[in-house]
Structure formats: structure tokens, C-alpha cells
């Protein structure tokens, strides 16, 4: 692992739906990041941080307080992993709210995706997210991890019940996290040397 200072990773759990599977996937990801010394992780679970529905350039006190619980954490992050399900061939409204309330917090930073869903494993949601983050001047990581019909295949702690499937998923996570680390460190260094101008 790199001897550089660890990069700050914000893991965004996008689903707020009752009975959601997102926390299980977040637990699985935590098992993967715990094996690395190049990353410090901050989990932002949108079910615990509901954001205002109406966008405003001048939010009132209540809306500002809700944003204050999330915005600084996005700003401090060097990279992001979005954990998203697929709803109707796309991603949750809660995630779009988070994205649209923020702008500079995403700029010149890498974004990776871990998705889950039915036969597509949430990959259609990921493909919808790529151009959105491109518009925000973020860099999306090519590699993804996707869980296809994962219900009943992982325990609540995020461990695979099938050892071979668990090893395969861990291998995919390593590739994703290796790429994300490269971009996170390279772009952190670039932002420090030369402020990004959108």
C-alpha cells in the first residue's frame, strides 16, 4: 500500500426505502476497505440524512441544518463510492437530491460505484449516474462492483454465504479500490498544486 497519507473516502448509501439492502452492501464494502491502509472511510447513509426536497440558493435555518450534517463531509472527501440500487432502470431520488444540492464538493474528485439489483445488478443505475457526475466535473471510475439478485446471498454483516462468490466479489472490490486510490491521490495532489476551475 501507499506510504502517502490515506485519502478520505465518502461512502454514500443511496437507498432510503423501507427494507432496503443497502446497509448490507455497505457492510460488505467496509470489510473490503478495512483490509487497506490507504483509505479513511466516512459512511453517509441518506436514510439518516434526509435532505430538503425544494432546492434553494438560500436555504432556511432548518434546511441549512440538514445540509450542514452532510455538505462538509462531501467537501472533505477526496473520493466517493456510491452504493446504489436500481429503481425503474435508474437510481433513487434521494441520491439525485444529494447530488443536486451540491456542486463544488464533487469537482475534480473520483467517483466509484457499487450497485445491486435484479438481473442487471443495478448497472443501469450506474450508467445513468456517469453523465450526471461528468456534468459536475467529477471523474467516474471505469470498474464497478455489482451484486445481481443478492438477497439471501450475504449475511447482515456483509459476508458472502458462498465462499467462491465472496472471493470473486472481493477481487472485483480490490480492482475498484486500487483504481479509486490512484485517482484519489493523483487528484488530491493536483488540487493542492493548482485549484480546479470549472
Per-residue pLDDT, 2: 44
For residues 109-129, average pLDDT: 97
Site of grid cell 457499487: 114
Per-residue pLDDT, 45: 98
Q: Are 80 and 9 in contact (CB under 8 A)?
A: yes
Q: Are 99 and 105 in contact (CB under 8 A)?
A: no
Q: What is the DSSP string of 144-172?
A: -EEEES-TTTB-TTS-BSSHHHHHHHHHH
- For 9, counting Cβ atoms within 10 Å of its Cβ (0-12 exposed, 13-18 middle, 19+ buried), the class is buried
Residue 1 has pLDDT above 60, yes or no: no
pLDDT, tens digit, for every residue of 160-193?
Answer: 999 999 999 999 999 999 999 999 999 999 999 9
Instruction: Output the average pLDDT for the chain.
Output: 94
CATH number for the domain whose boundaries are 7-193: 3.40.50.360
Confidence bin at 198 (pLDDT 50/70/90): low
pLDDT, tens digit, for every residue of 72-89?
Answer: 999 999 999 999 999 999
Q: Are 176 and 115 in contact (CB under 8 A)?
A: no
Q: Is the pTM of this model over 0.85?
A: yes
Amino acid at each position: 500500500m501507499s506510504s502517502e497519507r490515506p485519502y478520505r473516502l465518502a461512502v454514500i448509501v443511496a437507498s432510503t426505502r423501507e427494507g432496503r439492502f443497502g446497509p448490507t452492501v455497505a457492510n460488505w464494502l467496509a470489510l473490503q476497505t478495512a483490509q487497506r491502509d490507504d483509505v479513511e472511510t466516512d459512511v453517509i447513509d441518506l436514510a439518516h440524512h434526509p435532505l430538503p426536497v425544494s432546492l434553494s440558493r438560500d436555504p432556511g435555518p432548518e434546511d441549512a441544518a440538514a445540509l450542514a450534517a452532510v455538505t462538509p463531509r462531501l467537501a472533505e472527501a477526496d473520493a466517493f463510492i456510491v452504493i446504489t440500487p436500481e429503481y425503474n432502470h435508474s437510481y433513487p431520488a434521494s441520491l439525485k437530491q444529494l447530488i443536486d444540492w451540491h456542486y463544488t464538493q464533487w469537482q475534480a474528485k473520483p467517483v466509484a460505484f457499487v450497485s445491486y439489483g435484479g438481473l442487471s445488478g443495478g448497472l443501469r443505475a450506474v450508467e445513468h449516474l456517469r453523465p450526471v457526475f461528468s456534468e459536475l466535473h467529477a471523474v467516474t471510475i471505469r470498474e464497478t462492483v455489482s451484486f445481481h439478485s443478492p438477497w439471501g446471498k450475504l449475511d447482515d454483516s456483509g459476508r458472502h454465504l458462498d465462499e467462491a462468490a465472496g472471493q470473486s466479489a472481493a477481487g472485483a472490490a480490490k480492482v475498484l479500490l486500487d483504481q479509486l486510490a490512484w485517482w484519489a491521490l493523483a487528484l488530491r495532489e493536483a488540487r493542492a498544486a493548482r485549484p480546479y476551475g470549472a
